[in-house]
């Protein structure tokens, strides 16, 4: 484990048995580390396994294989008091703020519940003050405490979900598509709120999303996920400047550039076909059925996860120094 890593995920797999020997390989061998205070983004299409990865990391799902190490301790081996203490340290914000809030509870009850379970702020007055403070921290106010979730807009409901996640004073937050159910106009506000809270409270984030354009604003590093596998990982700025994997290049080329001249001139890389089923994933490279640069080796050999340049990892034969991949890539892209 790297000496600064707060969380280390090692070859994590989460498979679901569907009976009759059918196995859904939602997460199929994912590894990464997250340093204290940073935001690591996981991005990929819906169905790529990113949410399952988040839920397995926090322990909502048991893992099939691999390890999740938090502050040196194996999350899936924790029991009793150790597990209970870990729940305070790592919290989750969910995608659908409406579904994740009990419609019959007031905001005060929703935020209070985790504190009651963990025996925090036993004095009722102090707990209420804490709830008011949390509401203010997320841009709401104390008058909101006695209202019900349906009385709020989508953005406000997500703020309540964030206040609930913060109620135990966690160190680490897994934000599972926290903005994708919100109007575009509200998405940036919630992202800015999360950035603000991170700065003030020293939080570490795993930010899961399908939209690369928003992930870039919050993440220090990004991992790109495809069909249960990480295919590329590097610093956020580098991923945008120098994407290596054909899948990342296709995702980036779908983002509009707010300059009409550049937008008119640039070439798009359109992804063809659907994401294959994780029940029967392709052999060799998982991206081969949609990759415009697939070559013979891609049909049968799974590309290794390798460091193509400093702190820039990719799983693609094009970057394997032992094959003619780079040459073929350069030819295909017209690079001399
Ligand atoms: Fe495309 Fe082959 Fe690279 Fe997979 S390994 S992304 S199929 S070139």
Q: Which of 214, 213, 210 is nearest to 194 (CA)?
A: 214
The average confidence (pLDDT) of the chain is: 90
**Percent above pLDDT 70 for the chain:** 90
290 ligand 1 Cβ < 6 A? no
The answer to whether 308 and 317 are in contact (CB under 8 A) is no
The reply to whether ligand 1 has any atom less than 6 angstroms from the CB of 246 is yes
The alpha carbon torsion through 215, 63, 55, 223 (nearest 10 deg) reads 0
Q: Cβ–Cβ contacts within 10 Å for residue 172, how many?
A: 21
Cα 43 to averaged position of ligand 1 atoms, centre (Å): 18
Q: With bands split at pLDDT 50, 70 and 90, how would you rate the model's confidence at 335?
A: very low
Write down the pLDDT at residue 97. 72
Ligand 1 site, residue 291, Cβ cutoff 6 A:
yes
pLDDT (tens digit per residue) in 10-45: 999 999 998 878 899 999 999 999 999 999 999 999
Query: Ligand 1 centre and the CA of 215: distance in Å?
Result: 24
Q: In 242-312, which ranges are continuous DSSP H helix?
A: 246-253, 260-265, 296-300
Q: What value does the CA radius of gyration of the chain take, rounded to a whole number of Å?
A: 21
Ligand 1 binding pocket includes 287 (Cβ within 6 Å):
yes
Examine the pLDDT at 160 and tell me if it is beyond 70.
yes
Residues 6 or more apart whose CB falls under 8 angstroms from that of 189 comprise: 155
User: What share of the chain has pLDDT > 90, as a percent?
Assistant: 74
- 20 is written with which tokens? 């009759």
Is ligand 1 within 6 A of the CB of residue 314?
Answer: no
CA-wise closest residue to 27 among 16, 17, 38: 16
Beta bridge partners of 90: 172
Indicate the angle between helix axes 107-117 and 124-137, nearest 10 degrees: 120
CA distance 306 to 120: 45
Tell me the DSSP string of 31-78.
Answer: EEEEETT-EEEEE--TTSSHHHHHHHHHTSS--SEEEEEETTEEGGG-
- The tens digit of pLDDT for each residue in 47-94 reads 899 999 999 999 999 999 999 999 999 999 999 999 999 999 999 999
Q: Is 60 exceeded by the pLDDT of residue 110?
A: yes
Q: Give the nearest ligand 1 atom to 231 CA.
A: 6
Q: Distance, CA 74 to ligand 1 centroid (Å)? A: 33
Q: From residue 233, give the alpha-carbon distance in Å to each of 22, 25, 44, 219, 320.
A: 30, 21, 12, 12, 16
Measured distance CA(257)–CA(270) in Å, rounded: 16
Residue 276 has pLDDT above 80, yes or no: yes
pTM of the full predicted structure? 0.90
> Do 203 and 173 form a contact (C-beta atoms < 8 A)?
yes
Q: Strand 5-17 vs strand 23-35: parallel, antiparallel, or unpaired?
A: antiparallel
Confidence band, pLDDT 50/70/90 cuts, at residue 176: very high
- Kindly state the average pLDDT of the residues 171-198: 92
Distances (CA, A) of 290 to 120, 287, 321: 51, 6, 23
Which DSSP category does 283 fall into? Answer: S
What is the mean predicted confidence (pLDDT) over 139-145?
95
Q: Determine the Cα–Cα distance for residues 57 and 182; give it in Å rounded to an integer.
A: 25
pLDDT of residue 183: 86
| β-bridge mates for residue 205, sequence order | 39, 173
**Banded model confidence at residue 257, pLDDT cuts 50, 70, 90:** low
Whether the CB-CB separation of 212 and 43 falls below 8 Å is answered with: yes
Q: What DSSP designation does 90 have?
A: E
**Nearest alpha carbon, ligand 1 atom 8:** 294
Q: Which residue has the tokens 């998405």?
A: 187
Residue given tokens 């939080």 in the structure block: 203
Beta carbons of 30 and 230 less than 8 angstroms apart: yes
pLDDT, residue 315, reads 96
């Amino acid at each position: 484990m790297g000496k600064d890593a707060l969380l280390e995920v090692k070859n994590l797999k989460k498979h679901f048995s569907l009976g009759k020997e059918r196995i859904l390989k939602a997460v199929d061998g994912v590894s990464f580390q997250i340093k204290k205070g940073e935001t690591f983004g996981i991005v990929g299409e819906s169905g790529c396994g990113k949410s399952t990865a988040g839920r397995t990391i926090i322990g909502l799902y048991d893992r099939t294989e691999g390890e999740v190490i938090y502050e040196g301790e194996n999350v899936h081996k924790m029991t009793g008091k150790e597990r209970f203490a870990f729940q305070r340290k790592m919290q989750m914000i969910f995608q659908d703020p409406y579904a994740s809030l009990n419609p019959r509870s007031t905001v005060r009850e929703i935020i209070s519940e985790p504190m009651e379970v963990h025996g925090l702020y036993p004095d009722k007055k102090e707990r209420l003050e804490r709830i008011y403070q949390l509401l203010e921290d997320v841009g709401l106010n104390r008058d909101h405490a006695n209202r019900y979730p349906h009385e709020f807009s989508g953005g406000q409901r997500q703020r309540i979900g964030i206040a609930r996640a913060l109620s135990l004073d966690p160190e680490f937050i897994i934000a599972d598509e926290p903005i994708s159910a919100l109007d575009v106009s509200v998405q940036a506000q919630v992202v800015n709120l999360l950035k603000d809270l991170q700065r003030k409270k020293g939080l570490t984030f795993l930010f899961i999303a399908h939209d690369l354009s928003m992930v870039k604003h919050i993440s220090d590093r990004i991992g790109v996920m495809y069909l249960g596998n990480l295919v590329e990982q590097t610093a956020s700025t580098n991923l945008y400047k120098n994407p290596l994997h054909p899948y990342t290049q296709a995702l980036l080329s779908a983002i509009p550039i707010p300059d009409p001249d550049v937008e008119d001139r640039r070439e798009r890389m359109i992804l063809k076909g659907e994401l294959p089923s994780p029940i029967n994933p392709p052999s060799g490279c998982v991206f081969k059925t949609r990759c415009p640069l697939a070559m013979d080796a891609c049909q049968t050999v799974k590309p290794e996860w390798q460091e193509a340049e400093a702190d820039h990892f990719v799983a693609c034969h094009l970057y394997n120094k032992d094959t003619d991949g780079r040459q073929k890539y350069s030819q295909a892209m017209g690079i001399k």
